[in-house]
Amino acid sequence: MKMGNRLIQFSTEWPKLITGVMVIVTLILATMMVRVQVDTDPENMLAESEAVRVFHNQTKRMFTLHDVVVVGIVNETHPDGVFNPTTLGYVHELTQFAMNLADDKNPEKRVVARDVIAPGTVDAIEQAGPGQVRFEWLMRKPPETRAEALKVRDRAIANPLLKGTMVSENGKALAIYLPITAKDFAYSLRRQLLKKIAGFTGDDRFYITGLPVAEDTFGVEMLTQMAISAPLAMMAIFLLMLFFFKKVKMIISPLIIAMVTVIWTMGLLIGFGNTLHIMSSMIPIFLMPIAVVDSVHILSEFFDNYQKIRSRRKTLKKVMGHLFVPMLYTSLTSSAGFASLALTPIPPVRTFGIFVAIGIMLAWLLTIVFIPAYIMLLKEESLATFGVIKSGNDGSKNKTLLSRILGWLGRITYTQSKLIVLFTILMIGISALGISKIEINDNPVKWFKKNHAIRVADRVLNEHFSGTYEAYLVLEAETVAFELPDAVNAVKEALAQAIGNEAPVYNEAIGLVKSVSSTSGSAEDFINLLSDEFELKMDAAPDEEYDMWADGLDVMDSIRNRGQIFKRPDLLRYIASLQEHLVQTGTAGKSNSVADVVKKIYQELFEANPEYFRIPDTVNGVAQSLMAYQNSHKPDDLWHLVTPDYAKANLWVQLKSGDNKDMEATISVVDAFIKENPPPVPLIHRWAGLTYINVVWQNKMVMGMLKSFLSSFVVVFVLMVILFRSPLWGLLAMVPLSVTVAFIYGIIGIIGKDYDMPVAILSSLTLGLSIDFAIHFLERSRQEHTRIGSWREAAKEMFEEPARAISRNVVIIAVGFTPLLLAPLVPYQTVGIFLASIMVVSGIGTMIILPVLIKGAERVLFQNK
Amino acid sequence: MKKTAIWIIGLLVAFLGVFTVSAEEATLTLDDIVQKTNLAAYYGGEDGRSEVNMTITDGQGRTRTREFVILRKDVEDGGRQKFYVYFKKPSDVRKMVFMVHKYIEKDDDRWLYLPALDLVKRIAGSDKRTSFVGSHFLYEDVSGRSPTEDEHELVETTDTMYVMKNTPKDPDSVEFSSFTMWIDKKTFIPVKIEYLDKRGKKYRLVEALKTEMVQGIPTVTQSRAQDLLSGGKTVSEFSNVKYDIGLKDSIFTERYLRKAPKAVRN
């Protein structure tokens, strides 16, 4: 208090100095903001060193995978769908155009032309007359006749790797997959494509989707949105304050506080070398209401008192005397709420929490130092009418309306306390029910409004295709020890089988095995040395023995290559059955694997006979089918699905939705399948892909948020106990907050809104904002009770000035952020709705629950006073 | 492959004698160079045999190998040819055979024998610009691109090289817009071939890394094909090259696909 007094005294005496310093610091920090680096990649929700990201990147490298932008072409009117010469002409033109696209500024950000999937860039394996197969581009050039166009369709649909992926089963839609080297090229790619598409005529509809597009576009729109919503919110707050306080000169001060706070905080954030991430871009939106709240308390009280006291300095002294401690504590608690986010395992959330916490304390400091200074700088005459409207004509209705409502509310809390308690308990019950129904789920595509082009594209394309969301299931064998005795036994066994122990060279071969094994140090040594020996024998062998030694060498080779498990028919069949299971359970639209390639080529090798759409029976059969496949235009396509050493396989899973809950369902289906159906060799299975990464950071975030929320709950409680020097009062302060949090999350559960990233973040805001009113209310209640001596009388006082300050705050913040509801980005809408609900619920909760509880526990609460 | 290629020069040298060479060279027409190059690259000797060790390296440096034997027999110089490619490694494709009857006036006949499936399959040969067994060499690099398919232009003649630009007559049939050959003046071996894509950007490079004289015939013993975009490359090493070994015509028939001829042994 003493320090507070001195501070206020200082600022009322040196208003110009204070203003000057503030302006200079603001300018310095504003220049920092120029150095902003934007990072819109949700992948960065996880630290770069995070195991799942490391593995994701490894997987991308291992299987030459890229993030993919999907362009869908749909024609519902033409009887042949998109498979007519005109549309295919456009498809061809667009593919050629897209393959050469790169970022203007950084040509390294580009479309990976080689891996584009489009009718003109994929191979068709097909029958070319009896006993013949042909590898041919599916569509080297756009067809000129209907028959040619339909042939493209039929060949594409006949290829299981393309059906549902590149071509819809009904022939109405085609998809072009454009892999890109950098995700942040997606937005620019989409724009370039849209420009090109604008030049096409006809009934074809073009849609562009894929997670990279959603994520990158969100990043771009988010920045625009920040530039629009923050000033709009500011404007709305300004208008509301004008309505309440009438005096433009006075109400500019909270706006200055809000702006300066935002500039200082963002300047510091950027100055410290942080990138502007999706999270940190929301800092201004979060800081503004908090920064404004304290000033509104000051202004509200100043407004109510000034005409009585008629001196700026004296009024300030009185107002600040009331408010210094509650403001300090509300700021500390809000700050603690956000600082607790530093406990989450998500770097951008940590940065966000820390800087909002810093921003809140800056706002507090600026408020108590600058607002008095600002008021002192105003001429006494210009304040002459400030607060006069209280009894004036045009303001009287207002005043009486608000005052009347508050007066009525005050009486009710006294007379109907049992009802209020009952009602509160009922609400808590309903909220608990709602909370139990909360579904944790997120999907970057759903960050756009339903009618946003990206959402529409997502919906349409996932109706036509098997899914535009990718996840990769990487399979590999668990490492098994293979020592020298194992190798010797394996060789002996295999030799007996390959050469036969009747064969004349068999004994010779076994002799070699024995002599070589005695001189080798390891299994590897043994196999290599033995191979050398066999090779010598083979070279010298007479014709009839030549093949036997060669077979012996094959034995060595197959043992050496025992790690090439994904040539094994049993494993490929296992993968195929897993794929079938995935589609049957409906979580995945489709999946592609090396098993599909093998089956397709095997079938084509046997006259396209459907009976041969299966895995050949031997390793060599698989290997030779795959060797035949590699005589195509793009043999390297195989390496998207299996590594060249055949030790790791990639199951490319196509999901129809990017919802985390759908990805999670797929994960558990796979886990359960592998558990119930043990693979022929023990396999390690791990996921990669953007859709999966989103699940991982979501789970981390939800758990992290819960932890940070609980810890900040405790911190706030401790602060309250210290503030009120009483555990009971501390507990009391936590009541409205708890009810608000329960109520808001209850509503989320009841209306079925997914608990997503913005909702998770907002829990800290709820805590920080809703404690504010309780602090102000309780602090004043104690002061009034001490002054008056009875709660019955004190309560009446409470529903004058203090209740008005709370109410004004509620209205200003709640209404002030309604411009956010107009944002095309859902997280911004969520924040807007949330802020309004938090303010309304915690405001009302504070004003009706606290008086009832104080009344009920009056004796205990005030026993020592 | 190229290694099997180059003996035309040897023959020329033998027939015309060293003295006439310079005189010949002076009066060489573009057409002469085209023909000599074709012969040098693909028609060495009447027939030939070579063992090939192929190392395929992808953009990430991962390698795979193939080991096979190539038998070749010319029906006429600069014209029809027959190839028989017998796989030794990887062991799971051992005994696989790839056989080609190359024609100038029509599509080649190609066969694939897959022993594990006991299957002889013909591969329709309309498009020769497909990968040769997953390597960076194309089928056309192995069997030869007919000079009649391109327009030729001598861009430059240096002390040691002819630089010849080749533009396809049917641009739609290939993925390149043109390719340029650096042809050794003495041997007529194309030591470097650069391919430009449809946008005129260099994307593919085929080189003769080592050339040796085998039985008096300049023979490429190491060659490399590079995919400049992915950074992948394939190096082929040719060993035990022999020419004029008297390969029988019957070897190059379907009957010998299932039972490899002795000639595939050393």
Q: Identify the band that residue A393 occupies on the pLDDT scale cut at 50, 70 and 90.
A: very low
Q: Identify the band that residue B14 occupies on the pLDDT scale cut at 50, 70 and 90.
A: very low
- ipTM value of the model? 0.88
pLDDT at A84: 94
- Mutate: best of B89, B96, B98, B117, partner A, most A CBs <10 A: B117
A212-240 burial by CB neighbour count: b if 16+ within 10 A, else e?
Answer: bbbbbbbbbbbbebbebbbebbbebbbeb
Contact partners, residue A280, CB within 8 Å, separation at least 6: A269, A274, A348, A351, A352, A355
User: Higher pLDDT residue, B238 or A553?
Assistant: B238
DSSP characters for A491-528? HHHHHHHHT-TTSTTHHHHHHHHHHHHHH-SSHHHHHH
Q: Identify the band that residue B266 occupies on the pLDDT scale cut at 50, 70 and 90.
A: low
Chain A residue numbers touching B64 (CB-CB < 8 A): 644
Contact partners, residue B53, CB within 8 Å, separation at least 6: B65, B66, B67, B236, B237, B239
Q: Does residue A810 register a pLDDT over 50?
A: yes
Q: Does residue A799 register a pLDDT over 90?
A: no
Angle at the Cα of B214 from the Cα atoms of B211 and B220, rounded to 5 degrees: 25
pLDDT tens string A744-763: 899 999 998 888 877 887 77
Q: Identify the band that residue A144 occupies on the pLDDT scale cut at 50, 70 and 90.
A: very high
- Our CA-based measurement puts residue B235 at a distance from the nearest CA of chain A, in whole angstroms, of 17
Is A631 within 8 Å of B64 when comparing Cβ atoms?
no
pLDDT at A204: 92
pLDDT tens string A628-684: 899 888 888 999 999 999 999 999 999 988 899 999 999 999 999 999 999 999 999
pLDDT at B15: 45
For tokens 């993925």, the residue is B175
pLDDT at A357: 93
Facing residue for B92 by CB, picked from A100, A623, A634: A623
- The predicted model gives A4-15 an average pLDDT of 78
Is B96 within 8 Å of A129 when comparing Cβ atoms?
no
Q: Does residue A707 register a pLDDT over 60?
A: yes
Residue of B nearest to A615 (CA): B117
pLDDT at B68: 94
pLDDT at A515: 87
**Residue A626: beta bridge partners?**
none
Work out the percent of chain A whose per-residue pLDDT is above 70.
97
Could you write out the three-class secondary structure of A752-819?
A: CCCECHHHHHHHHHHHHHHHHHHHHHHHHHHHHHHHHCCHHHHHHHHCCHHHHHHHHHHHHHHHHCHH
pLDDT at A558: 83
A window 627-686, beta carbon within 8 A of B: 627-628, 630-636, 638-639, 643-645
Chain B residue numbers touching A137 (CB-CB < 8 A): 127
Q: Does residue B7 register a pLDDT over 60?
A: no
DSSP characters for B133-173? TTSSSBHHHHH---GGGEEEEEEEE-SSEEEEEEEESSGGG
- Our CA-based measurement puts residue B200 at a distance from the nearest CA of chain A, in whole angstroms, of 12
Chain A residue numbers touching B127 (CB-CB < 8 A): 134-137, 633
Q: Identify the band that residue B105 occupies on the pLDDT scale cut at 50, 70 and 90.
A: confident
Q: Does residue A415 register a pLDDT over 80?
A: yes
What average pLDDT does chain A have? Answer: 87
Lowest-confidence pick of A35-44, A108-117, A319-328, A786-795: A35-44
pLDDT at A414: 81
Facing residue for A620 by CB, picked from B116, B133, B266: B116
pLDDT tens string A423-455: 999 999 999 999 999 888 888 888 888 889 999
Task: Give the CATH number of domain B47-265; options: 2.50.20.10, 3.30.70.580, 3.40.50.2300, 2.60.290.11.
Answer: 2.50.20.10
Work out the percent of chain A whose per-residue pLDDT is above 90.
34
Q: Does residue B160 register a pLDDT over 50?
A: yes
B172 in contact with A, Cβ within 8 Å: yes
- Our CA-based measurement puts residue B18 at a distance from the nearest CA of chain A, in whole angstroms, of 41
- The predicted model gives B12-36 an average pLDDT of 61
- Our CA-based measurement puts residue B17 at a distance from the nearest CA of chain A, in whole angstroms, of 40
Q: Does residue A56 register a pLDDT over 90?
A: yes
- Mutate: best of B85, B86, B91, B265, partner A, most A CBs <10 A: B91
pLDDT at A387: 66
Chain A residue numbers touching B230 (CB-CB < 8 A): 114, 636
B64 in contact with A, Cβ within 8 Å: yes
Work out the percent of chain B whose per-residue pLDDT is above 90.
55
Contact partners, residue A803, CB within 8 Å, separation at least 6: A406, A409, A410, A847
pLDDT at A368: 87
- The predicted model gives A86-108 an average pLDDT of 92
CA gap A190, A71 in Å, rounded: 9
B86 in contact with A, Cβ within 8 Å: no
**Other C-beta atoms lying within 10 Å of the C-beta of residue A308:** 11
Secondary structure letter of residue B187 according to DSSP: T
Facing residue for B121 by CB, picked from A133, A567, A619: A133
Secondary structure letter of residue A561 according to DSSP: T
pLDDT at A865: 45
Q: Does residue B39 register a pLDDT over 70?
A: yes
- Mutate: best of A627, A634, A638, partner B, most B CBs <10 A: A627
Q: Does residue A326 register a pLDDT over 50?
A: yes
Q: Identify the band that residue A596 occupies on the pLDDT scale cut at 50, 70 and 90.
A: very high
A window 516-575, beta carbon within 8 A of B: 539, 543, 546, 550, 553-554, 557-558, 561, 567
Chain B residue numbers touching A543 (CB-CB < 8 A): 262, 265
Angle at the Cα of A172 from the Cα atoms of A171 and A175, rounded to 5 degrees: 85
